[in-house]
Chains A and B, each alone.
Chain A
Amino acid sequence: MDFFNIFIRAAFIENLVLAYFLGMCSYLAVSKSVKTAFGLGLAVIFVLAITMPINWVISNKILSENGMLGIDLTFLRFILFIAVIASMVQLVEMIIEKVSPALYNSLGIFLPLITVNCAILGGSLFMVARDYNFSDSVAFGLGGGFGWFLAIIAIAAIREKIRYSDVPPALRGLGMAFILTGLMGIAFMSLMGIDPAALGK
């Protein structure tokens, strides 16, 4: 599969939030306004696109039997992946703080949150489970991040509007967010008709 196919597939057809429920916690907690959702979405794209290739190198060149060390170390995968993610988030945070204080101020609060965002670790684990090669993993990181970004922006916009609707009190807030996410999932399913192989022609 080529770069573009995997990007489309990861962003729309197999959306991390709507098809796999990854990153639901921050998705529900930070989707109360479009502005903050935008910041978190950008940060997720950023971190996913960076950690995915790094984790690919670690998993295929160091931990696998055919890697540098020649020993099967796959049982260390979880610990190393989460360590890479935690340290990359720290590093990204420091770099952004130095380079662009404006961006840091808008992303700042959300960056540490991302360490425990399941979408990041889940992306890396999917990459391993599906045997992606290096460029595939870059495409999957970018596409998955973009899909997550789209989903959180959409739910935040809907939740901003629904505040003015007369929802039964017990359903207000969280309950409504769940049902809306389900409806969005069904809407995204219509994108399953896209045949990525046909797009390349």
Chain B
Amino acid sequence: MAETLDKDVVVKAKEPLFGKVEKKLLKDPLNDNNPITVQVLGVCSALAVTSMVYPSFVMAVAVVFVCAFSSLFTSLVRNKIPPQVRMIVQLVIIATLVTIVELTLKRFQYPIYRQLTVYIGLIITNCIVMGRLEAFAMANKPWRSFVDGIGNGLGYGAILLIVAVIREIFGKGSLFAGSPLEMKLIGTTPDYFINTMADGSWFGWYANNNLMVLPAAAMFIIGVLIWIQRSYNPKLVDIS
């Protein structure tokens, strides 16, 4: 008896802060509804930063931040926005948040700020942010929109990091270069973890692959990622 009573109490209590719906909102964008490989949103701004892991990581954090808080704020004022000017209102919210991100980076992470240059500003026109505001935040409560924003930011960041890890290892032989976590993996100089010139090195045949540093490599890797994802998840296949 006690158990059923407990259940009733749970049902009667308001929706839990982090229930099934929220979990789904957070998990879906990572695979089934990934912003880049399935919704094809937000490919625009950030692929050029994926040649190294650290800038991509900063970019991913920035997008999660902007996506989450723009969803939250848009959702808070959603009933007060006249439909004709909603695009402008959304753009102003996003642009303000992006300006905050830009100034913060400029103050605390200047080298990264120099490296990302225009791509920070381009988060404004990143279609994921706008797309989620239009599709979700305009019709849902603030907390759920916030979680949806985080989920989509993470789904985007995941692809970004996968591409960046592949490109940096094969293109430069290092990982997290430029950050405190810097690792030197494969190279010819003694301070690399695997010195390819050393006697008996297993990786003696390896030379840095310059193709991976080119922008085109990002396209190939994403193409292959889509290929792999769709082979495992046939419901995503389209015949267009």
Q: Which A residues lie at the B interface, using CB under 8 A?
A: 18-25, 28-29, 32, 75-79, 82-83, 86, 115-118, 120-122, 125-126, 129, 168-179, 181-183, 185-186, 189
Contact = CB atoms under 8 A, between A and B. Distances in A.
A171 B229 CA distance: 10
Interface of A is mostly: helix
Interface in B170-228: 214-220, 222-224, 226-228
B98 A179 contact: no
A21 B224 CA distance: 18
Given A78-B99, A86-B87, A25 B41 contact: yes
Given A79-B99, A122-B118, A171-B226, 4 more contacts: A22-B44, A25-B42, A171-B223, A178-B222
Contact of B45 (A22, A76, A171, A182): A22
A29 B230 contact: no
Most chain B CB inside 10 Å of its own CB: which residue of A75, A115, A170 = A170
Most chain A CB inside 10 Å of its own CB: which residue of B96, B121, B217, B240 = B121
A118 B220 CA distance: 21
A24 B43 contact: yes
B135 interface: no
B115 interface: no
Interface residues of B, number: 49
B220 A179 contact: yes
Contact of A170 (B42, B127, B218, B230): B230
B238 A22 contact: no
A-B interface, 5 closest residue pairs, ranked by CB to CB distance from nearest: A182-B219, A178-B223, A170-B230, A125-B118, A185-B216
A137 B46 CA distance: 23
B1 interface: no
